[in-house]
């Protein structure tokens, strides 16, 4: 496999891919990205975002970057701005039970399907960040580093991340002791200590190795 040419990545995600599709008459281009793939607890989220087919959007969203490069506060501000300008957007979730049953790849695909099905305007073309929806009828372009190249994908990454983070804060209230609001279900040392002390919760992903290990070792007394 040829190595990915990093010169393809702009300084900031832009509308180059979207503008090419718009010029071909495809006005409803949906960027799709996910959040929570590697977490040990909670659902995986996928967002679909359709920006207006207007090059001026690039200026309105100037400085937007993929969610991993922004602080939580910046993500919240950007999420509001994205929702205000979006032609349509939606977020879909696949629960931890679905992840355990289907596997994480299929669960991510299912979450993306749910998001796309919830769009107020059906998408005409999909831009995806390193995923593919093999049975979806819509034409698709999947790419490496999509959230760093496409403004639609970068915006979707922020909507997926902020929506999932909000849900994990709710789960923190339902299952105290794990600090879901802090680590958002990811595998931190604090999370692993809580798993060993409390055992897995109903929202943990039992098919993931660290959760299986904590379950097999049983609950230990805190030091």
Looking at residue 223, what is its pLDDT?
Answer: 39
Domain boundaries, the chain: 12-164, 174-217
Contact of 75 with 162, CB cutoff 8 Å: yes
| pTM of the shown model | 0.92
CB burial class (10 A; 0-12, 13-18, 19+) of residue 221?
exposed
212 contact partners, CB below 8 Å, separation of at least 6: 206
pLDDT along the chain (223 residues), means of 10: 63 93 97 98 98 93 84 94 97 98 98 98 96 94 93 96 98 97 97 94 97 79 42
d(CA 109, CA 208): 18
CA–CA gap between residue 24 and residue 113 (Å, rounded): 25
Q: Strand pairing of 140-143 and 88-94?
A: unpaired
Question: What architecture is domain 12-164?
Answer: 2-Layer Sandwich (3.30)
């Amino acid at each position: 496999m040829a190595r990915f040419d990093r010169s393809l990545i702009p300084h900031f995600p832009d509308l180059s891919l979207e503008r090419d599709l718009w010029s071909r008459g495809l006005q409803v281009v949906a960027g799709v990205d996910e959040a929570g793939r590697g977490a040990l607890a909670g659902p995986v989220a996928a967002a679909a975002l359709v920006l207006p087919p207007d090059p001026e959007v690039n200026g309105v969203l100037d400085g937007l970057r993929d969610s991993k490069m922004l602080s939580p506060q910046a993500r919240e501000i950007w999420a509001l701005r994205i929702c205000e300008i979006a032609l349509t957007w939606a977020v879909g979730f696949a629960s931890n039970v679905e992840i355990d049953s289907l596997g994480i790849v299929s669960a991510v695909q299912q979450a993306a399907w749910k998001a796309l099905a919830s769009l107020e305007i059906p998408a005409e073309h999909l831009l995806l960040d390193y995923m593919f929806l093999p049975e979806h009828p819509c034409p698709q372009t999947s790419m490496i580093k999509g959230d760093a190249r496409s403004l639609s994908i970068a915006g979707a990454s922020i909507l997926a991340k902020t929506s999932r983070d909000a849900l994990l804060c709710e789960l923190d209230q339902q299952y105290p002791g794990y600090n879901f609001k802090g680590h958002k279900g990811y595998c931190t040392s604090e999370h692993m200590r809580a798993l060993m002390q409390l055992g897995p919760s109903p929202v943990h992903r039992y098919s993931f190795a660290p959760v299986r290990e904590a379950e097999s070792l049983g609950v230990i007394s805190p030091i």
